[in-house]
Amino acid sequence: MSDINIGLADKSRVGAIEVLSAVLADEYVLYTKTRNFHWNVTGEGFSELHKFFESQYDTIDETIDEVAERIRALGGASAGSLAEFLKAARLKEAPGRKRDGMSMVKELLADHEALARTLRKDVDTTGAKLGDAGTSDFLTGLLEQHEKAAWMLRAYLE
């Protein structure tokens, strides 16, 4: 990694890559959960929730690509297997148990809020501790996306 000369010490880049790898794993778990809910929602509000979940997983899919590319830009290798994502993720999966649409919305809300809290810490870690303003700024943008998604989910519940 020492052949990368972007103004960050190797230790800072490695630290930022570690943070981003956990973010990538969390985003992938959230993507999979949101897609699962899109496929399996039934009952009242089906059509609306089906479309809503699709718009959310489309956004998360773009985010996954951006996080992986940020890892590569810093000289790291992005995880690419489900086993790697599950090992690194701070969010938990939502395996096969049946739930109603409102329970799905509540679970996704909890995950977006959890990611917002985690990303706040990650912004501090990459910015203040590692001196990586670029990654800190990148993560701030993700934080704002998750705050907006949480707001939309919260509004749906009201």
Domains of the chain: 10-157 (1.20.1260.10)
Residue found under tokens 């990650």: 122
Q: Which two tokens stand for residue 82?
A: 């489900």
Taking residues 49-69, report their average pLDDT: 97
pLDDT band at 66 (very low <50, low <70, confident <90, very high): very high
Q: Report pTM.
A: 0.94
Average pLDDT score over the chain: 95
Closest CA to 13 of 66, 72, 68, 63: 72
Buried b / exposed e over 23-50, threshold 16 CB at 10 Å, is: bbbbbbbbbbbbbbbbeebeeeeeeebb
Q: Which residue has the higher pLDDT, 70 or 96?
A: 70
The tens digit of pLDDT for each residue in 121-144 reads 999 999 999 999 999 999 999 999
Given a cut of 70, whether residue 76 has pLDDT beyond it is yes
* Helical axes 10-40 vs 133-157, angle rounded to 10°: 20
Residue found under tokens 């706040």: 120
> Cα separation of 31 and 109, whole Å?
13
pLDDT band at 2 (very low <50, low <70, confident <90, very high): low
Q: Which residue has the higher pLDDT, 153 or 94?
A: 153
Q: What percent of the chain has pLDDT over 70?
A: 99
Closest CA to 23 of 96, 109, 126: 126
